[in-house]
């Protein structure tokens, strides 16, 4: 089950404690904005898991949700200092 809120005692562990969530974070950090169908297709995860992880990421202010009718688009919040730092970390880690 996916937690909806971060535990204040160890937030980084909660954020990075799921391989699926890391896949989604990497994808959004790279592509900036995607609809949920694209995220599902590119990560090979199911809809329920992707949506749960996106809601978690939204609750910690790393992702913003935009609705265009029935289409949900999720945007990486690069203006958030934590999101910006995480994106830099991902770029450095992936380039090794």
Q: What structural domains and CATH numbers belong to the chain?
A: 11-95 (1.10.10.10)
pLDDT interval class at 11 (50, 70, 90): confident
What pLDDT, on the 0 to 100 scale, is given for residue 64?
97
> For residue 40, what are the CA distances in angstroms to 9, 23, 37, 79?
31, 10, 5, 25
The whole-model pTM stands at 0.85
More confident residue, 38 or 6: 38
Please name the residues in contact with 87: beta carbons below 8 A apart, sequence gap of 6 or more: 29, 76, 78
Residue-wise pLDDT for 12-23, tens only, equals 888 999 999 999
Residue-wise pLDDT for 12-64, tens only, equals 888 999 999 999 999 999 999 999 999 999 999 999 999 999 999 999 999 99
pLDDT interval class at 67 (50, 70, 90): very high
């Amino acid at each position: 089950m996916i937690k909806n809120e971060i535990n204040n005692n160890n937030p980084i562990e909660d954020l990075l404690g799921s391989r699926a969530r890391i896949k989604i974070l990497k994808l959004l950090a790279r592509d900036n904005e995607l609809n949920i169908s694209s995220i599902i297709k590119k990560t090979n995860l199911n809809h329920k898991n992707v949506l749960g992880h996106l809601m978690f990421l939204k609750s910690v202010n790393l992702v913003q949700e935009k609705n265009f009718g029935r289409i949900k688009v999720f945007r990486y919040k690069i203006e958030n200092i934590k999101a910006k730092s995480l994106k830099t970390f991902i770029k450095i880690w992936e380039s090794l």
